[in-house]
Chain A
Amino acid sequence: MNSTLLNSVLFVVLFPVFGSLFVGIAGKWLKKPLAGIIASCSVGLSFVISVFTFFSLIKLPPDLRFFDKVFFQWVPVGHFLVNFGFYVDPLSLLMIMVVSSVSFVIHLYSIGYMKDEEHFSRYFSYLNLFVASMLLLVLADNFLLLFMGWEGVGLCSYLLIGFWFHKKSAADAGRKAFIINRIGDFGFLLGILLIYHTFKSLNYNVVFSNAPLILSHGSGIATAITLLLFMGAVGKSAQLPLYVWLPDAMEGPTPVSALIHAATMVTAGVYMVARTHVLYQLSPVSMGVVAFVGIITAFYSASIGMVQFDIKRILAYSTISQLGYMFLGVGVAAYSAGIFHLMSHAFFKALLFLCAGSIMHASAGETDLRKLSGLRKYLPVTFWTMVIGALSLSGFPGTAGFFSKDDILAHAYVTPYYGKFLWGLGIITAALTSFYIFRMIFIVFWGDKQKESHPHESPKIMTFPLIILALLAIIGGYVGLPESNLIHRFLSPVFLGTAVLSSNVELKTIMVSLVFSLGGIATAWYFYLVNPSLPESMKKKAAGLYKLLLNKYFVDEIYERIFVLPGRKLSSFFADVFDAKYIDGAVNETGKWIKTNSEQWRKIHTGYLRNYALIILIGGILLLGFLMTKIH
């Protein structure tokens, strides 16, 4: 690959940064659509560059598709040297293509969705910065730069979730996202420090090539590093037990949710685990933890999603659940399957969220399932695209989600440790998934009870992205067909030594999971279209379970009780008692003491210049006397 192209990869990050700065600073003077167009173009340019880079990369033989391009020395402090460099390889390239393409589409959609927003340019400035941070995170060639992108993503999520900060719930949700991410980042930072302590470097190449030499297989340090890194991933990618911020993140504008859930932010954790898979390979314990946290989160949040009434909230739990699948994938060493699912999920989840936005747009911001119905006639484009997204999510044959999800489940099936359990829970979750998503589809689009409002289809600028994403949600899967499997072949130089499946096993697992997901759709169809009274009677029968699920297993309440309330009490103790009595007391007492004593001390200020000069002379005499003692 020629060096100009490699240098131009810098612009993949720089374009959105410039876009963000320009739109943020000059936003006041930009007309409304213009700010959005500029922001979209900057992301679009990033996408163009990444596509060009991709095409020149695949011309090379697979073993030579790795480039560590250093732009400058970023932190040279003694022996501690960190470069500002980008690591261009199939994995990072695939990621930046997914991130920039989905972000570009979401940017376009936002121009329509946010057209009545007062702080239009501020929104796009944040959005661009968000994308830039994510691209930086993906392209970084060392852990510190990765961490910078990681934190940038966290910051932007805070800014965007709390975009309507005058609404208390939005401001709270932003804070919640930030604080919970902080917990994960704490572990992540410790992991980075431990990596530096172990390898004396933060560069990927150095760390990964030395890892098998320095750390033995299953050693404690490898486990510690990977678990600490995974703690960061748990926070960022909303896994148990730090997932609670993501359902609240819907307080932001809907395209932001699409961005957070699909392209940026939450996928960072999966990418990071895939990127550091060399370290994870050294620790079977960590791999097990990743897989189990993944599958349990997947099942757990899918079960919550079944009974929620807010469409954005359902989608949020769906994201958590799908992220669980991805972690299951990388946890059973099926890294390319995990990344594949990340990609297809990016397409269909962005699609679903944008459809949800379109529904809200049509029905005056309504997101409650109980108040929406019969929208099929009014929103034809939204309806069809959303059905495609839902089919893809539930793994309907021929869609992207079908191939990627089954890829993961097949890998889980052949895993030696508890593989059958992981797989079993996985297909049950698949059934739950298709149930909750089609429950939503059936309730929103079928039925005929109609309110006074007249829903209308969204403008072209919003439906066009939906169509693009719907196409991607279908054809995106064909890069991973079981037989040819382009994506595996593309990523295989990165993930050397990962398991390869026999197509026999894959076929078998596909059959089973197909039955389950179709069963989920059928159940939803039966429950909500054929026999609408059934859900009510089910509710009565299993009232306890229903209440548990509706209240999300009371996790928020438990966290409130365990962490928030004691924290509040401690703070109020510090604020009202400690601060008032001791801190203020100390300050006041010092002041009093000085006031009483200064009456005496002021007398040394005689006001006579020569007095002062005399004192300076005495000082000089003392200094010289000190010098005299040093001479001999």
Chain B
Amino acid sequence: MGLIIFLILGILSVFTAIAVVVEKRPVYSALYFIANLVVLSLIYLTLHSEFLAVVQVLIYAGAVMVLFLFVIMMMPPVVENRFGKMSFQKFLIMPLLLIFLFELVYVLSCGLYASAGKSPSSLSFENFGGIVSLGQLLFKRYLVPFEITSLILLVAIIGAVYLRRSEQ
């Protein structure tokens, strides 16, 4: 049962991701990307990472992608000519990507898995991935990095504002 769900979700995520890349109109790309994010958050759920799943939908799909859509709306609609001046890249990309895919899948499925060691026990599932265990970590052990991320966000906001202002 779990496997079937995973397969459905996996195929969906791959499909939506491919759609982001091949879709000619940016708006559709963005919509597909939102779909991709939702599918990914469902995959997180199968991994018992409920909090992250929620965060994924809220922040990515909710905030970041809305920002993307805003920007896309501001732009005139364009239809792009994929390769243009760099036609030589067309012939290189496909084989290189295939080699890369092969290597990645090989390394991920053979190499690192061995070091991952034991299969998970289903004993301490209750707390795992829940907001309690994550909160404990975030506000105790990772308090300083947590505060620093807020600083990063602040810097990003100021940077964005400055970029727009300095033009005018």
A residues near B, CB below 8 A? 606, 608, 610-611, 614, 617-618, 620-621, 624-625, 627-628, 630-631
* CB-defined contacts of A617 to chain B, threshold 8 Å: 96-97, 100
| Inter-chain contact A624/B96, CB cutoff 8 Å | no
| Inter-chain contact B89/A624, CB cutoff 8 Å | no
| Inter-chain contact A627/B89, CB cutoff 8 Å | no
Q: Which residue of A lies closest to B104 (CB)?
A: A624
| Inter-chain contact B107/A624, CB cutoff 8 Å | yes
Q: A610-B89, A624-B100, A627-B107 given; name 5 further pairs at CB < 8 Å.
A: A617-B100, A621-B100, A621-B103, A628-B107, A628-B111
* CB-defined contacts of A610 to chain B, threshold 8 Å: 86, 89
27 contacts between A and B (CB under 8 A): A606-B86, A608-B86, A610-B86, A610-B89, A611-B89, A614-B89, A614-B92, A614-B93, A617-B96, A617-B97, A617-B100, A618-B96, A620-B100, A621-B99, A621-B100, A621-B103, A624-B103, A624-B104, A624-B107, A625-B103, A627-B107, A627-B111, A628-B106, A628-B111, A630-B111, A631-B107, A631-B110
* CB-defined contacts of A611 to chain B, threshold 8 Å: 86, 89
Q: Which residue of B lies closest to A620 (CB)?
A: B100
Q: How many residues of B contact A (CB 8 A)?
A: 15
Count: A-B pairs, CB below 8 Å: 35
Minimal beta-carbon separation of A611 from chain B (angstroms): 7
Minimal beta-carbon separation of A632 from chain B (angstroms): 8
Q: Is the interface of B mostly helix, strand, loop or mixed?
A: helix
* CB-defined contacts of A618 to chain B, threshold 8 Å: 96
Task: Mark each residue of chain B from 92 to 133: 1 if its CB lies under 8 Å from any CB of chain A, else 0.
Answer: 110011011001101100110000000000000000000000
Q: Which residue of B lies closest to A606 (CB)?
A: B86
* CB-defined contacts of B89 to chain A, threshold 8 Å: 610-611, 614
Sort A-B residue pairs by CB-CB distance and give the 10 closest, nearest first: A624-B103, A631-B111, A621-B100, A627-B107, A621-B99, A608-B86, A617-B96, A631-B110, A624-B107, A628-B107
Task: Mark each residue of chain B from 15 to 41: 1 if its CB lies under 8 Å from any CB of chain A, else 0.
Answer: 000000000000000000000000000
* CB-defined contacts of B97 to chain A, threshold 8 Å: 617
**Bound state CA distance, A624 and B97, in angstroms?**
13
The CB with the most chain A CB atoms within 10 A, among B86, B96, B103, is that of B103
Minimal beta-carbon separation of B162 from chain A (angstroms): 23
**Bound state CA distance, A627 and B97, in angstroms?**
17
**Bound state CA distance, A553 and B126, in angstroms?**
95
Q: Which residue of B lies closest to A618 (CB)?
A: B96
Minimal beta-carbon separation of A621 from chain B (angstroms): 5
Minimal beta-carbon separation of A616 from chain B (angstroms): 11
* CB-defined contacts of B86 to chain A, threshold 8 Å: 606, 608, 610-611
Tell me which of B85, B93, B103 contacts A628 (CB under 8 A).
B103
* CB-defined contacts of B93 to chain A, threshold 8 Å: 614
**Bound state CA distance, A501 and B97, in angstroms?**
96
**Bound state CA distance, A624 and B96, in angstroms?**
13
**Bound state CA distance, A266 and B97, in angstroms?**
77
Minimal beta-carbon separation of A370 from chain B (angstroms): 76
Q: A608-B86, A614-B89 are in contact. Are A621 and B96 (CB under 8 A)?
A: yes
**Bound state CA distance, A435 and B92, in angstroms?**
99
Minimal beta-carbon separation of A207 from chain B (angstroms): 46
**Bound state CA distance, A606 and B89, in angstroms?**
12
Minimal beta-carbon separation of A220 from chain B (angstroms): 58
User: B residues 67-104 with Cβ under 8 Å of A?
Assistant: 85-86, 89, 92-93, 96-97, 99-100, 103-104
Minimal beta-carbon separation of A437 from chain B (angstroms): 71
Minimal beta-carbon separation of B74 from chain A (angstroms): 21
| Inter-chain contact B106/A614, CB cutoff 8 Å | no
* CB-defined contacts of B85 to chain A, threshold 8 Å: 608
**Bound state CA distance, A529 and B97, in angstroms?**
108
* CB-defined contacts of B106 to chain A, threshold 8 Å: 628
Q: Which residue of A lies closest to B92 (CB)?
A: A614
Minimal beta-carbon separation of A275 from chain B (angstroms): 49
**Bound state CA distance, A620 and B101, in angstroms?**
11
Minimal beta-carbon separation of B82 from chain A (angstroms): 10
Q: Which residue of A lies closest to B111 (CB)?
A: A631
**Bound state CA distance, A621 and B85, in angstroms?**
25
* CB-defined contacts of A624 to chain B, threshold 8 Å: 100, 103-104, 107
| Inter-chain contact A614/B96, CB cutoff 8 Å | yes
* CB-defined contacts of A628 to chain B, threshold 8 Å: 103, 106-107, 111
**Bound state CA distance, A584 and B35, in angstroms?**
63
* CB-defined contacts of B103 to chain A, threshold 8 Å: 621, 624-625, 628
Minimal beta-carbon separation of A554 from chain B (angstroms): 70
**Bound state CA distance, A606 and B84, in angstroms?**
14
Minimal beta-carbon separation of A622 from chain B (angstroms): 10
Minimal beta-carbon separation of B91 from chain A (angstroms): 11
**Bound state CA distance, A621 and B97, in angstroms?**
9
**Bound state CA distance, A200 and B15, in angstroms?**
70
* CB-defined contacts of B110 to chain A, threshold 8 Å: 631
Q: Which residue of A lies closest to B106 (CB)?
A: A628
Minimal beta-carbon separation of B83 from chain A (angstroms): 9
**Bound state CA distance, A630 and B106, in angstroms?**
12
Minimal beta-carbon separation of A625 from chain B (angstroms): 6
**Bound state CA distance, A631 and B104, in angstroms?**
13
**Bound state CA distance, A608 and B100, in angstroms?**
21
Q: Which residue of A lies closest to B86 (CB)?
A: A608
Task: Mark each residue of chain B from 45 to 85: 1 if its CB lies under 8 Å from any CB of chain A, else 0.
Answer: 00000000000000000000000000000000000000001
* CB-defined contacts of A608 to chain B, threshold 8 Å: 85-86
Q: Which residue of A lies closest to B84 (CB)?
A: A608
**Bound state CA distance, A611 and B104, in angstroms?**
21
Q: Which residue of B lies closest to A624 (CB)?
A: B103
* CB-defined contacts of A627 to chain B, threshold 8 Å: 107, 111
**Bound state CA distance, A624 and B107, in angstroms?**
8
* CB-defined contacts of A625 to chain B, threshold 8 Å: 103
**Bound state CA distance, A608 and B93, in angstroms?**
15
**Bound state CA distance, A111 and B97, in angstroms?**
82
Minimal beta-carbon separation of B104 from chain A (angstroms): 7
* CB-defined contacts of B111 to chain A, threshold 8 Å: 627-628, 630-631
Q: Which residue of A lies closest to B85 (CB)?
A: A608
**Bound state CA distance, A611 and B86, in angstroms?**
8
**Bound state CA distance, A610 and B99, in angstroms?**
18
**Bound state CA distance, A627 and B103, in angstroms?**
9
Minimal beta-carbon separation of B78 from chain A (angstroms): 17
Q: Which residue of B lies closest to A630 (CB)?
A: B111
